[in-house]
Structure 1
């Protein structure tokens, strides 16, 4: 997979998401959400949005997002944001591959 595949997949998922999304809660999640709602005196929807932002930020900061992007799409988050791979940025993909087997043959 490539940067273009990732971009297509992100756009496809984004267009499929509604502004509202129902989520089933287990007992533990429901208890934690109730605690956060009481402590922060916040709207449940706002806490869910904050939770998604916190999870995203955590995966970016720990390198977990890059790990999964590299496995699935062979790109990093920085490459996705730039819209090009490191090889494209540095020009390394412009040169033909060296043929080391035939390099020293006369």
Structure 2
């Protein structure tokens, strides 16, 4: 996979999510959400879900977990995704022809 495929997948998923996202909660998650809602007092419980997504995203970026999964699935990192080009493209490493190792040291 590549950076272009990642961009396509993100765009597709973004449009599939739409403006509303309905989810079903298991008993433990419902209990935790109820406790957080009571303690933090947001206007709507949707706000806590948004905060949770932001926290999960930030944690995945900071720990390198997001880069690991992006590298495994798309062979890119989050920085490459943000810049829109791979490190090889940034450094010009993709502009040189491939080395022919069999003929490399022949005179």
Q: Same fold (TM over 0.5)?
A: yes
The structural deviation recorded for 1:69 is: 0.2
**Cα distance in 1 for residues equivalent to 2:30 and 2:67:** 30
Report the equivalent of 2:33.
33
Report the equivalent of 1:72.
73
Deviation readout 1:27-83 (Å, 9 max, x if unpaired): 110010000000001120000000111111110011000000000000000000000
Q: How does 1:1-106 map to 2 (within 5 A)?
A: 1-42=1-42, 43-106=44-107
**Cα distance in 2 for residues equivalent to 1:35 and 1:57:** 23
Count of paired positions: 106
TM-score normalized with structure 2 length: 0.96
Could you say what the CA RMSD is over the residues aligned between the two structures, in angstroms? 0.7
TM-score normalized with structure 1 length: 0.97
Runs of 4+ aligned residues of structure 1 deviating over 4 Å after TM superposition are none
Which segments of 5 or more consecutive residues in structure 1 lack a partner in the other structure?
A: none
**Cα distance in 1 for residues equivalent to 2:104 and 2:63:** 42
